[in-house]
Structure 1
């Protein structure tokens, strides 16, 4: 594939229309598709946007949340009830905006660790896998070291931001922070 075609396919965003009858229509293939097929687009890293056919509103997040809901309902869920409860508690909280960025950066770090691990383990023999399994916690810690440091830094930044917001709020009432 030449460079111009590669750039065009990278910048091309597939449009999927959602009709009131709950059907999804892929405008690239001129066919109706299922949530499972939308999930395959995600897994294949295809850029797409889901639009309400009637209003034109971008409803991509809603469709992605439906896919997550289906995944959580079947098989092995990724999120425990306490994790979901914690996420719900962040809605409306002063730190709501910060949590999204925090989670996004940590997931990206995990993806980078996974990619590095896949590259490093390409030539593993069964014996090497056995040795790796025996030392898994230290090896995993070594792979994730940078990610853990990044998480610590973000938590420190979050604490600092909360402290500043508290100081500002208390200052508006003429109260100095005790901390």
Structure 2
């Protein structure tokens, strides 16, 4: 993860470790667009930050001068690079629909709805991976070819539940009670 060693180590801004609380790695972004990892005392690249994300390591990106949190901007930059480098995850239609929610009264609800559904999908993927540890890639491929409706039924049930919860939140936000 160390791209270029800095001449001298900067003091770490990471939280002090306490029982059960993971240390949050602090990455400083300088005006020259370089990223400095205070944990490894080295300059890193966006690929290195992506590796942190892939390993689910907690981190925050801060502007070196102002201390402003730039984590979202860096994550969006990684997504942009991924979208332009290979097979995109988001279609143009999906991106246009997401853009339409900015400034819309439903923006907060849509964000939490998408986040919850992605979390449900990630949990399903993790459960399936745990159950498939013993399967070879060939057996896994055969299983998935034969079982997609069964494997995804739990996800769709969870998605429907999340949508119903979102509807209830919207109605209660407007003071409307649904008849039972």
Name the TM-score, length of structure 1 as normaliser: 0.78
Instruction: Give the alignment partner of residue 47 of structure 2, picking from 7, 12, 36.
Output: 36
Higher mean C-alpha displacement, 94-103 vs 148-157: 148-157
Inter-partner Cα distance in structure 2 for 1:132 and 1:149: 21
State the Cα RMSD in Å.
Answer: 2.4
Residue 96 (structure 2) pairs with residue 85 (structure 1): yes
2:160 matched to 1:149? no
Q: Give the TM-score normalised by structure 2.
A: 0.78
> 2:32 maps to which residue?
21
Q: Distance in 2 between matches of 1:130 and 1:81?
A: 29
What's the offset of the Cα at 1:134? 4.0
| 3-state DSSP of counterpart to 2:133 | coil
| Alpha-carbon offset, residue 29 of structure 1 | 1.0
Q: Distance in 1 between matches of 2:141 and 2:59?
A: 41
CA 112–130 in structure 1, closer or farther in 2 if over 3 Å, else same: closer
Relative contact order: is structure 1 or structure 2 higher (C-alpha 8 Å, sep ≥ 6)?
Answer: 2
2:86 corresponding residue in structure 1: 75
Residue of 50, 71, 75 corresponding to 2:61:
50
Specify which of 108, 111, 115 is matched with residue 122 of structure 2.
111
Taking the aligned partners of 2:52 and 2:168, their CA distance within structure 1 comes to 39
User: How far apart are the structure 1 equivalents of 2:100 and 2:50?
Assistant: 28
Distance 1:53-1:147 versus aligned 2 partners, 3 A rule: same
Task: Kindly indicate which of the two structures has a greater share of residues assigned to helix.
Answer: 1
Structure 1: which 5+ runs fail to align?
1-5, 169-179
Gaps of 5+ in 2: 1-16
Tell whether the 8 Å contact from 2:117 to 2:162 is kept in structure 1 after alignment.
no
Aligned mates of 2:27, 2:153 — CA distance in 1: 40
Q: CA deviation at 1:125?
A: 4.3
Between Structure 1 and Structure 2, how many residues are aligned?
Answer: 160
- What is aligned with 1:174? none
Alpha-carbon distance change, 33 to 81 in structure 1, aligned in 2, over 3 angstroms = same
